[in-house]
A and B are shown apart, each in its own frame.
Chain A
Amino acid sequence: MAHDWQPDFEQLVDEHQSMVFSLAARMTGDRGLAEEIAQDVFLELDRNLGKMESAAHVSFWLRRVAMSRSADAMRRRRVRCTDMWIEIEEGHGATTEDKDSPMGARLEQLLATLPEPQRAALILRYQEDLTPEEIAATLDAPLATVKSQLQRGLKLLRHKAQSHLKEYLRVKEQANEA
């Protein structure tokens, strides 16, 4: 189908590199691997640039391919959640320092320990601010499954937070008292 939209590849990389890298990094828990995935995703975009119909189409396509490539990379590497947590602790020091709230960084670390489908749904929901319908389209999964993964993932994350993030609760409590 003919369309008038003429994308500039370099500009697209500029606009979306943070999104693609963040998705891959949070899915794999490995900065180096995430950078490789991001490069591959953009090179695939270059090959498919003629098929892109709009800026929104590019965003959707990039999210979809980034998530898919990350899942493939995870399957290849067979990274266990516990390993990922260790990698994040060791390799993502800058991320932890960059965060305004150390609790936020802890939450991110806990997120990395969730099962892959739940993590994917939560990342798309809270990083990309997508609706469950958009997440279902991105992951090519039934809407009911996505909603279930969001609920279960959030519940599990809250449970983990309750167990592991005592300081999180303490700070929040102090803030509430103040």
Chain B
Amino acid sequence: MKLEPIDDFERDLRQSLERRPAPPGLKRKVMERRSWLRTQRLQSRSVIWQRLAASVVLAGALCGGWMWHERQEQRKGEEARREVLTALRITGHALNEMKAQLAAHHSPNQE
């Protein structure tokens, strides 16, 4: 016995391979998962932005703290410099006075 011609066989195959209806809940499940994924994506984006904002604030605070510290150090340095200059001026003034006294003491008029 021979099989029918290939055209008939192919026709039967085509009939047997008609598209099946999708399960009734497929579309609903897809839409639910899509909605859930979108919510998750939005939440994760929100978390990312929150972390980014927190990082910026922290970096700003650290930077501000560092700048404040540097300013304080600079101010202390300037103050120390002023004190040193004042001390030098006082010392210089005292030395000048001492020098003048010594000069007056050894002047020929007094001899």
Contact = CB atoms under 8 A, between A and B. Distances in A.
Secondary structure class of chain A's binding surface, majority of residues = helix
B23 A108 contact: no
B6 to A, nearest CB: 7
B30 A154 contact: no
Contact of A21 (B1, B6, B13, B26): B26
A62 to B, nearest CB: 12
A17 B20 CA distance: 10
B4 A172 contact: yes
A93 interface: no
Given A43-B37, A169-B1, A19 B19 contact: yes
B12 A21 contact: no
Interface string A30-70: 01000100110011001000000000000000000000000
Given A17-B26, A95-B20, A111-B17, A9 B12 contact: no
Contacts of A108: 16-17
Contact of A127 (B6, B9, B17, B23): B17
Contacts, number: 93
Contacts of B22: 17-18, 20-21, 35, 38
A107 B34 contact: no
Interface string A83-110: 0000000000001001111011111100
Q: Which of B13, B21, B29, B33 is the most central at the interface, judged by chain A CB atoms within 10 Å of its CB?
A: B13
Q: Which of B1, B16, B34 is the most central at the interface, judged by chain A CB atoms within 10 Å of its CB?
A: B16
Interface in A119-167: 122-123, 126-127, 129, 154, 157-158, 161-162
B27 A101 contact: no
Contacts of B1: 169, 173
